[in-house]
Structure 1
Amino acid sequence: MRPCLIVLEPTGVYSTRPSQYFKERGIRVLQVSPNVLSREKELRGKKTDFYDAIKLENMVDKAKEYEYNPLRELVTLYLFLKDIEVKYKNRLERALFLVSDNDKISKERLEKLARGDFTQEELYNLEYTPIVLEEIRVLAKTLLETQEKLREVRKMVEEQVPDDHVLLTIPGIGKLAAGIIIGVVGDIRRFPKPESFVAYCGLDPVVERSGKAVISRGISKRGNRYLRSLFYFLAGRNYYRNPTLLKFYESHKDRLKGKKLYTALARKLGLCGVFGIIISLMSPSDWKTLPLIAT
């Protein structure tokens, strides 16, 4: 039997290989979102491979065609390397604190530490100092290599973003930020409304109501932590360049303070900025022309 159509549930890395395998052999592959599947009730409360297959077969109209997105892989690699960089940097600062009063890391100092050059360092003469110095040398060398690889991958991500991409029209968003958003979000049509996109980022507010009492618990943080961190960073650093964010900042700075204000700005950026500007500038015929919606 040679199938002409395959419907499956995307399960991360485990679904990529079979999807690519069938696509390369001329077989159409459709994927049903796990969120859509979870909203469908199980047949008589049963969950087996047989009944899951029946559900997939009955949901072809809600499935989307599989498309490989190389930018997603590049962004995943970039974020992975970024996590490694942070871990090595934190560990290096800890090691420096054990043997010196100076735990600051500059590029020039990092290069000297990677070569094992401690001649200009004021070190404590302690029992564990020789061991820690070897750890510092290894960490500094690895951190330099990681940063170099990060620069290479960053350039590759930025090259995937067209100069006229709609996200670049938002003040404060450059090619790297746009590439991360494109790579992480994928098909923006899977979000029925802006609030769904904000919830995906974990920036949706948690509100508890009991009678007339209304208690705000902050944001849910149940979403993509990379997008949440990115929007928080962009909003905090560039709100004065964005007229919408600046107006929001001036209106709420007396009521909200510190992180609460910047979190609200991050939510505003995701709600009215990234999602809003894409929807407002697009017509139905434009959906497939933007890299942002390539699955």
Structure 2
Amino acid sequence: MEAPVAGIDVSKDKLTVYFQDSFYEFPNDKRGFEEIKRVLPKGCKIGIESTGVYHINLAKYLVGEYDVRVINPFTLKKFKDFRGKKSDKNDAKKLAELVVSMGSEFTTSDARELTSQWDFVTRSIVRVKNRLRRDLVLLGYRDSLSRKNLNEVLRGEDNAVLSEVRFLLGELERLEARKREIEEKLKEVVSKDSLIFTIPGIGRTLGCIILARVGDVKRFGDKKRFVAYCGLDPLVESSGKSVVSRGISRRGDAVLRRAFYLAALTAIKVNPVIKRFYEEHKGRLKGKKLITACARKLAVITWAVLYYNRPFDASE
């Protein structure tokens, strides 16, 4: 027997629920969450649009007893006339209809939340390191963050810049410890047996992040849809007979896009397909554009491996 389906439109203060041709409104707090459980039977499929941070507590509260689908707004835009007449009730009803039409969609989980935290911490580490390099230059040193260089800096005479260096080093230590902790947790909640790990260049951490962000790859019927979802699809403008490339769209999942970019940095050295692609295109593309093109190629390979459920094969 098919499980019943509901849709929940989430705003900062209110939850609008559509279930079996009826609408309900509850506050977006624990009391409202409990009311939803009274209305919806266990095992019900629930469509919730990802709305910044406002949907997260609700999704966590319902997971376990319900089949919760947290749906990316970019995915919704692909469905013609999804919005229709704008209203909370209409959106809730359309979310329920979307769950039915799409079949398997994102299932919210600790893994997906961990990927968001990992991305935030990783970008924070980069910012702290860049600030440290800036401070080293101000103190008259090279911008190298080698332990020898930092130890020499820390022996210098106290001043405002050195005070910041000490603070930033403490922050960096905490951030890197948190990053390691998140990566260990990711390894626990994502399957170790996925065929994604047969792809050279995609290691354990980035593989877990990609799997958690993608969800069920079967919902992407072709590689173009998958690449677009990653925000790695080319942005092309045409005028008359001229066609100009404007880079990538960046409209998809930013965490997923960064994961493929980081994986591509390794893949150009160890993955024969990506390495060959890199060599063939390095005369036309340079720097980040070339790595981004490799990331797009790697995303296509990942889609094929997961969609067709076949291990990576460099000969194909």
Question: Cα distance 1:187–1:218, how it changes in 2: closer, same or farther (>3 A)?
Answer: same
Whichever structure has more helix as a proportion of its residues is: 1
CA shift in 2, pair 1:135/1:267, >3 Å: same
**How many Å apart are 1:28 and its aligned residue?**
5.8
Contact 1:93 1:105 in 2 (8 A): yes
Cα distance in 1 for partners of 2:69, 2:169 equals 46
Aligned equivalent of 2:130, options 81, 90, 110:
90
What residue number does 2:121 align with?
A: 81
The answer to whether the 8 Å contact 1:171/1:238 transfers is: yes
Aligned to 2:198: 169
Unaligned runs of 5+ residues in structure 2 are 1-37, 311-316
Greater RCO (Cα-Cα under 8 Å, separation 6 or more): 1
Alignment of 1:283-294 (within 5 A): none
2:306 maps to which residue? 278
CA contact (8 A) 2:99 2:105 kept: no
Superposed displacement of residue 36, structure 1: 5.7
Matched residue of 2:154: which SS? Answer: coil
Is the 1:209–1:215 Cα contact (8 Å) retained in structure 2? Answer: yes
Following TM superposition, by how much is the alpha carbon of 1:210 offset from its aligned partner in structure 2, in angstroms?
2.9
Trace 1:106-121 onto structure 2 (pairs within 5 A): 106-107=146-147, 109-110=149-150, 112=151, 118-119=154-155, 121=156
AA at the equivalent of 1:243: P
* Aligned residue identity for 2:100: D
Distance in 2 between residues matched to 1:28 and 1:256, nearest whole Å: 45
Q: Does 1:61 align with 2:90?
A: no
Post-superposition shift, 1:166? 0.6
Letter in 1 for 2:85: K
From 250, 259, 271, give the equivalent of 1:242: 271
Q: Which residue of the partner structure matches residue 210 of structure 1?
A: 239
Task: Report if aligned partners of 2:67, 2:107 keep a CA contact under 8 Å in 1.
Answer: no
Q: Distance in 2 between matches of 1:209 and 1:159?
A: 47
* Aligned with 2:170 (options 117, 136, 141): 141
Question: Kindly, what percent of the aligned residue pairs are identical?
Answer: 38
After superposition, the Cα gap between the structure-2 partners of 1:72 and 1:94, relative to the gap in structure 1 and judged at 3 Å, is: same
**Deviation at 1:7?**
4.2
TM-score for both structures, normalised by structure 2: 0.72
Please say which of residues 217-226 and 252-261 is displaced more in the overlay.
252-261
- TM-score, length basis structure 1: 0.76
2:91 corresponds to 1:52 = yes
User: AA paired with 2:195?
Assistant: V
Deviations 1:230-280 (A, max 9, x none): 323332333242222233234334443444333222211111x21111112
Aligned to 2:207: 178
Equivalent residue, structure 2, for 1:260: 289
Alpha-carbon spacing, 1:221–1:59, altered in 2? closer, same or farther (3 Å): closer
Q: Please report the RMSD computed on the Cα atoms of aligned residues, expressed in angstroms.
A: 3.1
Give the Cα separation in 2 of the matches to 1:3 and 1:238.
Answer: 46
Mapped contact 2:45–2:67 kept (Cα < 8 A)? yes
Higher strand share: 2
Following TM superposition, by how much is the alpha carbon of 1:32 offset from its aligned partner in structure 2, in angstroms? 5.9
- The residue type equivalent to 2:296 in the other structure is R
Report the CA distance between 1:57 and its aligned residue: 5.0
Q: Deviations over 1:18-76 (max 9, x none)?
A: 3444455x566566664564434278x53122333443454452265774422112222
SS of match in other structure, 1:94: helix
1:286 corresponds in structure 2 to none
Question: Using a 3 Å threshold, how does the CA distance of structure 1 residues 94 and 49 change in structure 2: closer, same or farther?
Answer: same
More displaced stretch, 83-92 vs 60-69: 60-69
Report the equivalent of 1:269: 298
Distance (whole Å) between structure 2 residues aligned to residue 3 and residue 219 of structure 1: 42
| Pair 1:3-2:40 in alignment | yes
- Please state whether the residue corresponding to 1:281 is helix, strand or coil: coil
Q: Structure 1's 80 and 108: CA in aligned 2 closer, same or farther, altered over 3 A?
A: farther
1:70 counterpart residue number: 110
Partner Cα separation in structure 1 for residue 181 and residue 72 of structure 2: 33
User: Structure 1: 5+ residue runs without aligned partners?
Assistant: 124-128, 283-295
176-185 vs 15-24, greater mean Cα deviation: 15-24
Deviation at 1:182, TM superposition (A): 1.5
